Amino acid sequence: MSPDSPLTICALVNAWPRLATTFIAQEFIGLEEHGVNLWLAALEDGGPVRHELHDRLRAPIHYIPEQPFKLRHELLRACIKFLISGSMPRALSLLRQELRSPKKRRAKLVTFARALVLASRIPREARLIYCHFLYPTGSIARYAAALTGLPLAASAHARDIFVRPDPELRRMLSTTEWVTTCNIPGAERLRHLAPEPERIHLIYHGLSLGRFPEEPPERGERDGTDPTSPVRLLSVGRAIEKKGFDILLEAFANLPPGLHWHWQHIGAGKLSDALKGEAGRLGLDGRITWSGARDQAFVIQAYRDSDLFLLPSRQATDGDQDGLPNVLMEAQTQALACLSTNFSAIPELIIDGETGVLVPPGDVEALAKALTELIRSPERRKAIGMAGYERVRRDFRADDGIAEIARLIRETAKLGRK
């Protein structure tokens, strides 16, 4: 198969469109530019708010029903089809592995039924199943690959690596041709569990820089002394535990009373109401703007209008953690100084004291101290902002990573159906 010949793959995602996973939309658009045709399937609708990036994708979207048992005739036809093809025993063998544990048996059966629906709908010309996230999409893709005989590949990210139990990851990794991940801690965990560690590829998402203004904005000399011109603080991220926004609120409450600042949060999430309530309890209401979920254009303008970006990532109680948050890279494309934590893959992007500032995760005192120093020092913010700008534009471009994924896809597609 030549690099320029047309190639169709089935790409499976948890939700589409989804604001929190612009890196997936960016990658899919890049794959289309490399001549890969996508038959895109999603497990759910990501909601009404979408980025301009989503509209650039040419691939049609196919949603896999959440309640597949209602599609009795389609399920029956799928069962007959795969019984005749001889692939049903192979898929049932995988299902039996999962059913050895009595936990969530009905959910596992629903997953298998959704895979039957997906496998029956995948077009004949598809040469590969490629899923983003090892769970829950990976579970469905694994069955679908067994049913269709197509090779399986995956891209793993954060929660699907760090929260899933070892046996489940081992089973998934035993059936994939290769897996990419965007951070060193994730790659190390997967290589430890994979039967062939060399099939785990570290590929940073990076950014397609054409989506962002090239020239950084001119920022003022706000230093927290003028109540009419407070230092503008910004965070972009879901309101969930691993983002550490509750820690950030505590740090805000520990800032010197005469320091003038205003924080804007962009993002939605299950902890939104709890965070707003905590902000009120701490007396911070007048200093915070809760913007909710917004599109990319709004977010980019917020990067340009702000003085300091904050992302106090930490490990959640269930083990979930960030990999390498794209919002940090996005902020740095606009020369916005970043304050984050020396946790997970963040130090792979931010060199502490040079291209940003990192503090220990969950350390309110250290976060408040760093915040105070950076609010008071516009010159330091400018210096680390420009250093971050230069590094992210030099070392974290998406093009090379997307080209490598396209190469892996084409090589794997040569394997054909099993």
E strand spans, 258-386: 261-266, 288-292, 308-310, 338-341, 357-359
Pick out the chain residues at pLDDT < 50: 1-2
Determine the pLDDT at residue 52.
83
Tracing tokens 């999962």 back to the chain, one arrives at: 98
Determine the pLDDT at residue 352.
98
Type and span of the H or E element at 6: none
Determine the pLDDT at residue 182.
92
3-class state of residue 44 by DSSP: strand
Q: Which amino acid is at 83?
A: L
Determine the pLDDT at residue 280.
97
Phi-psi region of 166 (alpha: psi -120 to 50; beta: other; left: phi over 0): alpha
What structural domains and CATH numbers belong to the chain? 7-208+397-413 (3.40.50.2000), 212-395 (3.40.50.2000)
> What is the C-alpha to C-alpha distance for residues 357 and 342, in angstroms, rounded to an integer?
9
Across the beta sheet with 200-202, the strand order is: 61-63, 36-45, 7-16, 126-132, 152-156, 178-181, 200-202
Determine the pLDDT at residue 4.
52
Q: Are residues 330 and 207 in contact, defined by beta-carbon separation less than 8 angstroms?
A: yes
Nearest to 392 by CA among 352, 349, 337: 349
Q: Are residues 210 and 204 in contact, defined by beta-carbon separation less than 8 angstroms?
A: no
- Provide the H-helix boundaries in 235-271: 245-253
Determine the pLDDT at residue 232.
98
Whole-model pTM? 0.88
> What is the C-alpha to C-alpha distance for residues 224 and 229, in angstroms, rounded to an integer?
8
